[in-house]
Amino acid sequence: MSFQLPNLPYAYDALEPHIDARTMEIHHTKHHNGYTTKLNGAIAGTDLEGKSIEDILSNLDMSNMAVRNNGGGYFNHCLYWEVMSPDGGGSPEGALASAINAAFGSFNGFKDAFSTAAAGRFGSGWAWLCVHKGGKVEVCSTANQDNSLMPGVGCGGHPILGIDVWEHAYYLHYQNRRPDYIEAFFNVINWEKVAEQFEAHK
Ligand code: MN3
């Protein structure tokens, strides 16, 4: 069994004007496709073949750079597409909203923490909202294609919302204006999907 590049749950132009169609198409067909193909190559014939991506990343030998980079890239982008929607934006409700308020004081407190983590990531990487067993949420950031499932990255729990801050995620439209991309991302967050992830992993 090999990993498959998932289809996007919307058209490439569906997130405009916040994220442009050309960025989305290249990001999906070139970058995510590349991570998927290289991950399959890296695990072929090893004892990782046939395991779930969460299992692979949670028990990862961090010196295995091919699986670390491409397995992270595979997982991270699968989540990224899912937590965006043309009908997104607004703020969460229910238990997720309560967890966010408990951790950050308010939705705006969360937005500040998440945006600061995303803007402050030097070079390439991701910012995350993660949930720990028991339901506590935290914001953190990881470099390159690392994520909080991996051991020893200084960031724990299961990622339930992630923003890609590699330049390939925004440079065509926003050039060096990463903060503008981060602000725009809030207009496309699919909070129903994030809440599903919260319920599944809390
Ligand atoms: Mn990317």
Over residues 143-166, the pLDDT tens digits come to 999 999 999 999 999 999 999 999
Alpha carbon of 105 to ligand 1 centroid (Å)? 30
Alpha carbon of 166 to ligand 1 centroid (Å)? 6
144 in a structural domain: yes
Closest to 139 (Cα-Cα) out of 169, 185, 104: 104
The tokens for 196 are 């599903």
Mean pLDDT estimate for the chain: 97
Q: Which residues form the domain of 76?
A: 20-202
53 in a structural domain: yes
Over residues 164-185, the pLDDT tens digits come to 999 999 999 999 999 999 999 9
What pLDDT was estimated at residue 1?
Answer: 61
Number of domains in the chain: 1
CB atoms within 10 A of CB 114: 25
9 in a structural domain: no
Class of residue 31 by CB neighbours under 10 A (exposed 0-12, middle 13-18, buried 19+): middle
Q: Rounded CA gap, 200 and 63, in Å? A: 29
- The CATH number of residue 29's host domain is 3.55.40.20
Alpha carbon of 28 to ligand 1 centroid (Å)? 8
Q: Rounded CA gap, 183 and 62, in Å? A: 32
